[in-house]
Structure 1
Amino acid sequence: MLKGPARVWFSKLTPNSISSFKELSTQFASHFIGAYKYKKSTACLMNIKQREDETLRSYITCFNKEAFSIDEADDKILMVAFTNGLWKGKFLFSLYKNNLKTMSDVLYRVTKYMNVENVLLAQEEKPKKKERQEEA
């Protein structure tokens, strides 16, 4: 019994256009092959790079989105891929300096740094607001 898109596809076939089950299965597979979601490998994580002007929050969001789409991501591979993609700066230096052992440790440190980023960005915004008020 067919349901959903498979039923719609089947009902649109021209009557007597298919002569065997093998032909039916071949046409079915060729029609629906694009809908199959292939599992990603951890290698795709190595392509995620933090841009120089990108916040840590934005990078971790992008990294996590990809990491969650991988079924069996090893903790060590996640750590290597994450640090490999980081922009070379103070945060990366602190990760290497502290020799973190697990991705949980890395994420804890990421959270602390993101909070600092937010404070610094908020402080940068304050003078701009004051300047605008003085101009008015």
Structure 2
Amino acid sequence: MHLQGVADEIMCRAFLTTLKGPVRIWFSLLMLNSISTFKELSAQFTSHFIGEGGHRYKKSTACLMSIRQREEEMLRSYIARFNKEALLIDEADDKILVATFTNGLQKDKFLFSLYKNDLKTMLDVLYRATKYMNAEDMLLA
């Protein structure tokens, strides 16, 4: 956008639409009219989240062990909750992600299929989950 000569006001508004989680909270706490250029917004963002003394909202993988699929919770919802927390983990190891994800699942056919196929990566687990959820959706339809 900068290379195309887009106005600062538009870049700032477009930037807002990309924010989620802790970054969106940070943005909402900025004083009204305290930033007048995209360069200022970029500098504040960088200093807050990346620069020296910046706040890092990262968690350890231990927090994933407490995430459990609730009674009557659909697999899709559990995956969304798990992934939201996993994104806050600094350099999460794939084996730990798979282990904590499967540990939190309800004891049902999907968990059995994961153990049966001995999936090693989170990508494989999510691919299998997508196939399982699609099959469930087809049966419900």
TM-score of the two chains, using structure 2 as the length reference: 0.59
Per the TM alignment, residue 116 of structure 1 is displaced from its structure 2 partner at its CA by 1.5
1:69-113 Cα deviation digits (max 9, x unpaired):
112100000000000000000000000011111111111101101
Instruction: Report the secondary structure of 1:70's partner residue.
Output: coil
Q: State the one-letter code of the partner of 2:78.
A: Y
Q: Which deviations, in whole Å up to 9, do the C-alpha atoms of 1:103-136 show, x marking residues without a partner?
A: 11111101101111222333xxxxxxxxxxxxxx
Query: Does the CA-based 8 Å contact 2:57-2:88 persist in structure 1?
Result: no
In structure 1, runs of 5+ residues without a counterpart are 9-35, 123-136
Which residue does the alignment assign to 2:139? 120
Looking at secondary structure, tell me which structure has more helix per residue.
1
Q: Percent same amino acid among aligned pairs?
A: 73
1:92 to 111, 117, 124: 111
TM-score (norm 1): 0.61
Q: Equivalent of 1:43, from 47, 58, 62?
A: 62
Structure 2 unaligned runs (5+)? Answer: 1-29, 35-54
Count, aligned residues = 91
Larger RCO (alpha carbons 8 Å, 6+ apart)? 1
Corresponding residue number in structure 2 for 1:130: none
The structure whose Rg is larger is 1
RMSD over equivalenced CA pairs, Å: 1.9
